[in-house]
Amino acid sequence: MGINVNSVQIIGRLGNDIEVKTSQHGDAYCRLSIATNYSQKNHETNQYEKKTDWISVFAKGKTAENLGQYAQKGDVIRVDGSLKIREKNGTYEMFVMPFRIEWESMKPKETSAPKPTQGGFTRPTQQNEDGLPF
């Protein structure tokens, strides 16, 4: 029997500002909607139309806290994770459970803290004389 792999990578734009919630056990979590665009040919008009798919992502812990503090609607976001499907009240929900999230803000939120890229890690901000951060 072969190896089964459940791995997805989504790159798109954050469709909403993040609202972080707390579970009954005290853990932070949030849901994000990521928009991905593509073109599809309309066979009736013979023209290409822009389409958008919305992908649901569930984040928790420090990653959810950082998203809520730093990420905002319109940011470019990359999610590496696994696809999950849950049945709830007779309907099925598909979402991505991330193990890595990175984003690039289009505009800064009003904060003086450095912006993390994922789960509490920060980018280097000091630069040498060449203007490079290494």
Domain ranges of the chain: 8-121
Q: What is the distance between the terminal CA atoms of the chain, rounded to a whole angstrom?
A: 46
Q: How confident is the model at residue 4, as a pLDDT?
A: 78
CA distance 56 to 98: 11
Amino acid at 5: V
pLDDT tens digits for the chain (134 residues)?
667 789 999 999 999 989 999 999 999 999 999 999 999 999 999 999 999 999 999 999 999 999 999 899 999 999 999 999 989 898 988 899 999 998 887 665 665 555 555 454 444 444 455 555 44
- Tokens matching residue 20: 């972080």
CA–CA distances in Å: residue 21 to residues 29, 31, 38, 58, 61: 5, 9, 32, 11, 10
Q: How confident is the model at residue 50, as a pLDDT?
A: 94
Q: How confident is the model at residue 111, as a pLDDT?
A: 56
User: Which residue in this structure is represented by tokens 């309309």?
Assistant: 42
8-121: CATH topology: OB fold (Dihydrolipoamide Acetyltransferase, E2P) (2.40.50)
Beta carbons of 94 and 10 less than 8 angstroms apart? no
